[in-house]
């Protein structure tokens, strides 16, 4: 298989930001240090996951606000904020505020659907409106409207000594064009395209037209772009789990191989009633991983990636992995560090 005909233009990474419940600050500081390292290595973007009632980042916007003050160039994203836990108007205020503080570097990624374990959390989250809440695409549309400056109320003007706006404040120009949808199905991909969003596609997709992961992901990318106003120029970022071992110690290599082997069985066929299909983790020397990616039908369709860091590794492991990605794997894919950002 020949190399990807289009060089990789934007290189990013994604972290879950795990922490010890008895010492949460240490884990959060580790995440911020990893983002700072990413900027020094020339990565174009750093993304954080969102976890509720778990030992991972529950407030990615707050974490990225802190990261914005410790970095100057790297783009900062969420992959993804599950909107079932959020009020779209309040979230729009937070997103715009952090985007202003970051100098226009925020890339919010969102998804839809009921909160995880909704039957267990509904009374705490929506005690009075649990039956009435809409967890579908309408929630995203409301958020997009608020971020893009559509009126949130029919009132605006001066009342006494206070001045009110009919739009969410602050307004951050350009943020509306940097909204991402985390989609794993054809329906989601089409909806995101029709509403002018960018598409985050990860290592999990819904097996619909095929049971071959790359073919399914490719169909989502093409369906998205077929509905997007910008067509083939619409932004798509791929997020596979990639673990280069070039500078890893023998102990790290053994641990990485065991991690991937333990997760491999789930990639053999669609899982569960929703028929979710998982991509195998890519582990090995950068040259080998570059060859595997160049043969991946969906990777050949994108020029942006946000490689996912494994959930359970330590800080030193992430330093090694990110360093190898930036200094060996990225260049093997045609990427150049510190490339000018767009959007």
In a domain? residue 60? yes
Measure the CA–CA gap between 134 and 228, rounded to whole angstroms. Answer: 25
**How confident is the model at residue 341, as a pLDDT?**
43
CATH of the domain at 76: 3.20.20.30
% of residues, the chain, pLDDT over 70: 97
CB 203 within 8 A of CB 279: yes
The pLDDT value recorded for residue 219 is 97
Return the C-alpha torsion angle 23, 26, 27, 29, nearest 10: 150
Residue 338 lies in a domain: no
**pLDDT class for 343, splitting at 50, 70, 90?**
very low
Report if residue 220 sits inside a domain.
yes
For 203-212, how does the pLDDT look when each residue is reduced to its tens digit (9 = 90+)?
999 999 899 9
Q: Is residue 50 part of a domain?
A: yes
Give the per-residue pLDDT at 212. Answer: 96
**Is the pLDDT at 39 greater than 70, yes or no?**
yes
Q: Give me the pLDDT at residue 209, please.
A: 86
Q: Is residue 2 one of the residues assigned to a domain?
A: no
The mean of the pLDDT values for the chain is 96
- What total number of domains does the chain contain? 1
pLDDT of residue 339: 46
pLDDT digits (tens, 9 = 90+) for 83-108: 999 999 999 999 999 999 999 999 99
* Encoded tokens for 321: 């992995």
Does pLDDT of 30 surpass 60? yes
Structure confidence at residue 323 (pLDDT): 98
In a domain, 90, yes or no: yes
* 157-159 vs 162-164, strand pairing mode: antiparallel
In the prediction, which pLDDT does 1 show? 40
What is the rounded average pLDDT of the residues 137-162? Answer: 97
> What pLDDT sits at residue 169?
98
36: containing domain: 10-152+166-332
Residue 327 has pLDDT above 50, yes or no: yes
Q: What is the pLDDT of residue 6?
A: 82
CA atoms within 13 A on the CB side of 24: 8
Cα gap 51→57, rounded to integer Å: 6
pLDDT digits (tens, 9 = 90+) for 231-277: 999 999 999 999 999 999 999 999 999 999 999 999 999 999 999 99
DSSP 260-329: HHHHGGGGSS-BTTTTEEEPPPEEE-HHHHHHHHHT-TTGGG-SEEEEEPPTT--HHHHHHHHHHIIIII
Q: How many residues are given for the chain?
A: 343
193 within some domain: yes
Q: Is residue 4 part of a domain?
A: no
Contacting residues for 136 by C-beta, under 8 A, at least 6 apart: 112
In the predicted structure, residue 2 carries a pLDDT above the cut 50: no
């Amino acid at each position: 298989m020949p190399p990807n005909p289009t060089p990789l233009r934007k290189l990013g990474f994604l972290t879950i930001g795990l922490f010890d419940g008895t010492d949460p600050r240490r884990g959060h500081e580790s995440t911020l240090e990893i983002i700072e390292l990413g900027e020094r290595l020339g990565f174009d973007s750093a993304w954080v996951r969102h976890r509720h009632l778990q030992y991972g980042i529950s407030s990615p916007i707050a974490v990225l606000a802190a990261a914005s003050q410790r970095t100057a160039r790297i783009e900062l994203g969420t992959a993804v904020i599950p909107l079932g836990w959020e009020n779209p108007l309040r979230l729009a205020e937070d997103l715009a505020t952090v985007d202003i503080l970051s100098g226009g570097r925020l890339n919010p990624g969102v998804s839809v659907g009921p909160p995880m374990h909704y039957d267990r959390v509904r009374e705490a989250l929506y005690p009075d409106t649990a039956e009435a809440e809409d967890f579908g695409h309408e929630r995203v549309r409301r958020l997009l409207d608020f971020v893009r400056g559509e009126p949130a109320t029919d009132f605006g003007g001066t009342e006494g000594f206070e001045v009110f706006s009919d739009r969410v404040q602050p307004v951050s120009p350009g943020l509306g064009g940097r909204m991402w949808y985390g989609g794993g199905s054809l329906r989601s991909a089409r909806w995101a395209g029709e509403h002018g969003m960018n598409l985050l596609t990860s290592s999990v997709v819904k097996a619909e037209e095929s049971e071959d992961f790359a073919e399914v992901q490719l169909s989502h990318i093409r369906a998205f772009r077929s509905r997007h106003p910008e067509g083939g120029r619409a932004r798509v970022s791929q997020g596979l789990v990639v673990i280069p071992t070039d500078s890893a110690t023998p102990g790290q290599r053994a641990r990485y191989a065991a991690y991937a082997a333990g997760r491999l069985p789930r990639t053999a066929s669609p899982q569960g009633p929703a028929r979710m299909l998982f991509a195998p983790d890519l582990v090995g020397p950068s040259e080998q991983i570059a060859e595997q990616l160049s043969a991946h039908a969906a990777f050949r369709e994108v020029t942006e990636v946000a490689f996912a860091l494994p959930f359970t590794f330590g800080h030193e492991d992430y330093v090694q992995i990110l360093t190898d990605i930036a200094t060996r794997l990225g260049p093997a894919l045609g990427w150049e560090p510190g490339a000018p950002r767009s959007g």
